[in-house]
Amino acid sequence: MAETTQFELVTPARVMVSQEAEMITVPGAEGQFGVLARHAPVIANLQMGRVDVYENGQITSSFMIDGGLADVTGEKLVILAQRAEDLNKVSAEELKERAKGASDADAAFLTACAEAVA
């Protein structure tokens, strides 16, 4: 069995995810990076993009974040994001509909989410 690390995705509204994961890929401001168990400690700025959670070498869940901050330790990854969307629980059509009535910034984020789901 592969080693795991604790993963949390936190927005101002709630803790969206708190689970063990084999690997998590994160959209860093300097480029995409992966977090595994026993990762070196780092704090990284994040850009808008997908966060993919892996189990047994397969993506089991995906989230879109609108930038933020990643705090990585040897045992845990915490992502603090202003906005996040669980891409496994929404359809592209639903996101496009929500974008129609949203502010410009929210609409841009929701449109990016819809593209990631499609």
Q: Which tens digits make up the pLDDT trace of 9-31?
A: 999 999 999 999 999 999 999 99
Report the CATH number that the domain containing residue 43 is assigned in CATH: 2.60.15.10
Task: Give the whole-angstrom CA distance, residue 70 versus residue 72.
Answer: 6
pLDDT of residue 41: 94
Residue 97 lies in a domain: no
Task: Considering only the C-alpha atoms of the chain, give the largest distance between any 2 of them, rounded to a whole number of Å.
Answer: 46
Residue 57 lies in a domain: yes
Alpha-carbon torsion, ordered 27, 30, 36, 41, to 10 deg: -120
Q: Which domain holds residue 49?
A: 5-86
Nearest alpha-carbon partner for 39 in 29, 52, 25, 51: 25
Residue 37 lies in a domain: yes
pTM above 0.95, yes or no: no
Task: Give the whole-angstrom CA distance, residue 100 versus residue 37.
Answer: 41
Residue 35 lies in a domain: yes
The structural domain count of the chain equals 1
Cβ neighbour number for residue 28 with a 10 Å cutoff: 15
* Neighbouring residues of 71: CB distance < 8 A, sequence distance ≥ 6: 43, 77, 78, 79, 80
Residue 111 lies in a domain: no
What residues in the chain have per-residue pLDDT under 50? Answer: none
